[in-house]
Amino acid sequence: MSINLAAKLRIGTQKSHTAVENVGFMKCFVKGVVDKDCFAKFLSNLYFIYSALEKGIENHRNHPVIEVMYFPELNRQAALEKDMEFYYGKQWRSQIKPSPATQIYLNRLQELVTQTPELLIGHAYTRYMGDLSGGQMLQAIAQSGLKLTGFQGTSFYNFEQISDKKAFKDKYRQALDAVPVDDATAANIVAESNYAFQLNMQMVQELEGSLIKAIGQVMFNTLTRSHSVGSTEVATS
C-alpha cells in the first residue's frame, strides 16, 4: 500500500512554504538586497543546523525509515565550513555561535535524534528540497549583491555531487514514497516538516533587525510591503 508521502509533504506544507517566502529578510534577499554581515550570520546559523541534522541522520542510517532517505551527497556541513572560513577567517569556530532561534531549532533536532528519529525526514525534506529548488537563484543573487568572485562565500548552494538536480529530486520523491510508514507516521512527518518551516522562519526573522540597521527602515518597508503568492501554491500539479 502506497502512502504517497511525497505528495502529502508537498501539499501539506504549501502554506508554510508561502509564509517563509513572505518573511521580510527573504523578500529583500530575492530582490537583490543582501547585507554581508546578515548573510554571513544566516549561513552560520545554517552551519549549526546542518551539522546537527546530518549527524543525526548518519547516526541513524540503519533505521528502517532513515536508510531509505539516506543521501549523503546532500550533506551541506563541509560546504558551510568553507563559507565560514571565507566570512570569519581561519579561526571561524571561535567567532560564531547559534542564535537564540537557532538554539531552539537545535534542541528540537536533538529531541528527535534521541526519541523519534524517523521525524528527521520532515526536516531533511524542508531544507534539502528547498536548497535544490531555489539554491542556484539565491546563490546568483548573493554573488551579485555582495560582488563575490566565483563560488567564494556561497559554497552552501553548490551540490557538487548532484549534476542533475531535477533527476535527483525525482529520485528523492520516489524514495519518500518507498519509506515504510503508516498513515499516522506519515501525518507526523508532515506536521514535523511544517514545524521545520516554522523554525526556519523564526531563525530568518531574527536577522531582520540587523538588516534594517544596514539598509534603513524605509527601504525595508518598501521591499516587504506586498504579499507574494507562494511558488508551491502556484505550481501544485
pLDDT tens string 113-145: 999 999 999 999 999 999 999 898 999 999 999
Cα–Cα dist 116/109, whole Å:
10
- Domain of residue 121, residue span: 23-220
- Note the pLDDT tens digit of each residue in 21-59: 999 999 999 999 999 999 999 999 999 999 999 999 999
CATH number at residue 156: 1.20.910.10
Closest CA to 181 of 70, 75, 69, 72: 69
Instruction: Classify residue 55: in a domain, yes or no.
Output: yes
pLDDT value of residue 230: 58
Averaged confidence pLDDT in the chain: 94
Alpha-helical runs (H) found in 22-155? 24-30, 36-59, 77-88, 100-115, 120-145
On the 0-12 / 13-18 / 19+ scale of CB atoms within 10 A, 225 is exposed
Q: Which pLDDT band holds residue 227 (cuts at 50, 70, 90)?
A: confident
Residue 204 falls inside a structural domain: yes
Which pLDDT band holds residue 89 (cuts at 50, 70, 90)? very high
| Domain presence at residue 212 | yes
Q: Is residue 10 part of a domain?
A: no
Q: Is residue 236 assigned to a domain?
A: no
Nearby residues of 77 by Cβ (< 8 Å), 6 or more positions away: 47, 50, 51, 54
Mean pLDDT along residues 170-194: 97
Domain assignment present for 8: no
- Does residue 3 fall inside a structural domain? no
- Count of structural domains, the chain: 1
